[in-house]
Copies of this chain bind each other. A is one copy, B any other.
Amino acid sequence: MSYPVFAVTVDLVVLTVRDGELCALSVRRGCEPYLDQWALPGGFVHADEDLSAAARRELAEETGLAGPGGHLEQLASYGTPDRDPRGRVVTVAYLALLPDLPTPRAGTDAAAAAWRPVGRHGLAFDHDRILADGVERARSKLEYTPLATAFCPSEFTIAALRTVYEAVWGEPLDPRNFHRKVTSTPGFVVPTERFTEGGPGRPARLYRRGKSTVLIPPILRHRLDG
């Protein structure tokens, strides 16, 4: 039996929240095609490599950041026949959520790497679409999972967690109701004995992420239906 051959890549939608804005990692391409254009980080899957391992490798290679605290999950696959001028390439996109970290270093194939606010990206290939899908996945996952904590360092305040929700959803939330909701949902966050210091206003208690993987009941954003 014979069948068509494909190349398989992984592409990464890496999201973080910086200065109250949802930002995605993009790299300036250092080789053809789309030389010098912005694109999602990614690369070919190696001959004997698992898909998720390739995603983790690319994340480490192109950003220098992989460690704990973040979150990595498969997003979707994209394989339109003409999506890559080099030939038939199927890409498996992964979604990574990371706490705000120093500006990533450029990787091997990338001339530069930068955090850029989502929206109007103008990326190479079909990466605008992939990014949009990743952002929408993140938005809905914040509703019914405690994944917002993946955007925060290991200890964080309720206000910092609220800032994550507001940045990802692009919608302000009531601090008092949010505080009640988060602290009363079992397993979402667990309080520590430490508080913030030095900032303006009353010091805030620091929390760590809890053990639960789903939010019951969910925190629903305000939609205009759909």
Contacts and interface: CB of A to CB of B under 8 A. Distances in A.
Contacts of A226: 212-214
A188 to B, nearest CB: 11
Q: Interface residues of A: mostly helix, strand, loop or mixed?
A: loop
Interface stretch (A77-85, A174-182, A199-207): A77-85
A61 to B, nearest CB: 15
Interface residues of A, number: 39
Interface stretch (A4-12, A63-71, A116-124, A161-169): A4-12
A1 B87 CA distance: 13
A199 to B, nearest CB: 34
A214 B79 CA distance: 27
A85 to B, nearest CB: 13
A178 to B, nearest CB: 18
Given A186-B225, A218-B220, 20 more contacts: A1-B31, A3-B44, A4-B46, A5-B5, A6-B7, A6-B45, A47-B81, A49-B81, A50-B80, A51-B78, A51-B79, A74-B76, A74-B77, A76-B76, A77-B77, A79-B92, A90-B90, A214-B223, A214-B225, A216-B223
